[in-house]
Every structure is written in C-alpha cells, then in structure tokens.
Amino acid sequence: MRRSISAAMFLLCTGGVLAAADTGFAHLTGGSFRSVLKYEDVKNGTRVAPFDLQRRPVTNGDFLAFVRANPQWRRDNVARVFAEERYLQHWQGPATLGPNALPEQPVVWVSWFAANAYCKARNARLPTWSEWEFASAADETRRDARSDPAWRERILAWYSRPSNKALARAGLQAPNAWGVQDLHGLVWEWTEDYSALLVSDDNRNQGDPDKLKFCGAGALSMSDVENYAVLMRVAMLSSLNGADATANLGFRCARDSP
C-alpha cells in the first residue's frame, strides 16, 4: 500500500514536471550519428553537437500569440515572398483560430520563413535535418531504435493513416527517450536546411544527379533504404520552396545548448 502511494506520488510529480515543461525544450547530448542519408563527403558519421529541441511541435495557440505580437506575419499582412496564398488558410481569421485550428493542434500551413521567424522570436532556430533525424531515431526507451523492425512498422503505420482527418493534439504521444514527443505520427516538420537536401525530381526518378545543376561533389544517396519513413520526409522537404505551406507540415524550434 505504502509502495503504491509513493509510486502514485512519484507519478504525480513526474506528471507535474512534464506539464510544466510542455512548451519547453529537451536536451539532447548529440554525438556521432549514422544518418540514413549517405553523402559521399561524409566519411565517419554525422557529428551532431549537443542541442535543445522543443518537446512538442509548435501549436496553433503558440503561433497565434506570435502572429498577434508580430502582425507582419498575419496572413493578411505577410509579404507574398515569405508565404504563399494558402498560408494559415485553415484559421478562421487572420488573428482567430476557429473550429479547424484548435489551440492545442500543431500549427500547419506555415512557410519556412514564418517558422524561422517564430523560432528567432523565441531566441531559437529551426533544427537542422541532422538534429531532427538524430532526435527522431529514438523510441520511448532507446535513443536509436531504428534497427528494430517493429519500430519502423509503427512509424509506417502512422504514415498510412489518411491525412484528411483532423490532426490530433500535440503532446498526446509518449515522449521518446530524449523526452521529445510527436516527431513521428503527427505532422511533417520544417528543418532549417530543408534546401540542403539536394534531391531533385530527376534524382528521385533516376538516381542520376544533374552534375551541372548540383555543383561539386558530395552527391547524396540513401544509405538505409529500409528506413522508408525517414526517406519520405527527405523527399518531401527536398521538394519544397521556402514560401510553401501544406496541410500537414508544421515545425518545432531548436537551440544550441548553453
């Protein structure tokens, strides 16, 4: 009995800590990392420096506060070079969320420029692809669960769900081993260097990069074709321009560790 009480107390406390840290950042220690992307210039694994990553994707509620404080990012004010026509189209008004954009749902229909500006306003930045991939390799107990077929199946099962249904609230899924939630199974996410993923349409079709279009060495290939879910992300990010916005693309912020 006493044990169960202390266990309950412990759970309560943990719950309290988690709740307090909801909009906060988790610390990731970084290290040498085997990316699913194989660049010919990267010889000994990708180095990921220690960094902090937001535990949850940025929500409509978070983004509304940003837009209210920075009216140049309202959909009726934003410069067209920074965000296409569909930017925040699911909001009821330029500064109101409405039924199709609940405060706890991850924000989508955001351009890279808008996401970048949001993170800068929080004294943060968008994560790099390497950081995102490093964080997303973890399941609930292991920092790198990628070799586990069951883990891969889970991710793919999430991706096979139809995307025309309403998005779940951010933060419903169990935190991964780093304390980060929703890296899989909720929305795609912008990375700072989305435009560094040099996979052209041609390249995806033929695996033969246009040498004049892509200057220099460092051609990209996929070293882990089993990890299809992550490759889908790469293909998607590499097809985007900075002003683009889509129905299932959101973001979270990162920052260098102090």
Partner 1 sequence: MKRLATVTLGIAMLAGVAISATDEAFAAPATGTALPADSVYQLPLQLTDQAGQARDWRTRRGKPQLVAMFYTSCQYICPLIVDSGKAIEAQLTPAQRNRLGILLVSMDPKRDTPAALASVVAKRKLDTARWTLAAPPTDSVRDVAGLLGIRFRQLEDGEFNHTSALILLDADGRILGRTEQVGTRPDPEFVALVRKTVGS
**What residue ranges bind partner 1 (CB under 8 A)?**
39, 41-43, 65-66, 69-72, 79-82, 112-113, 116, 121-122, 192-193, 195-198, 212-219, 238, 241-243
Cα 62 to Cα 48, 87, 121, 181, distances in angstroms: 28, 16, 12, 16
Shortest Cβ distance from residue 162 to partner 1 (Å)?
31
Shortest Cβ distance from residue 176 to partner 1 (Å)?
26
Shortest Cβ distance from residue 116 to partner 1 (Å)?
7
| Smaller CB separation from partner 1, 78 or 145 | 78
- Single out the residue of 221, 231, 228 nearest to residue 149, CA to CA: 228
Query: How many beta carbons lie within 10 A of that of residue 1, not counting itself?
Result: 5
| Smaller CB separation from partner 1, 149 or 216 | 216
| Smaller CB separation from partner 1, 162 or 216 | 216
Match 């973890």 to its residue by tokens. 138
| Smaller CB separation from partner 1, 56 or 184 | 56
Shortest Cβ distance from residue 238 to partner 1 (Å)?
8
What's the rounded Cα separation, in Å, for the pair 52 and 30? Answer: 10
- Single out the residue of 6, 25, 56 nearest to residue 181, CA to CA: 56
What's the rounded Cα separation, in Å, for the pair 27 and 178? Answer: 7
Shortest Cβ distance from residue 214 to partner 1 (Å)?
6
Match 């929080």 to its residue by tokens. 122
| Smaller CB separation from partner 1, 26 or 220 | 220
What's the rounded Cα separation, in Å, for the pair 126 and 180? Answer: 15
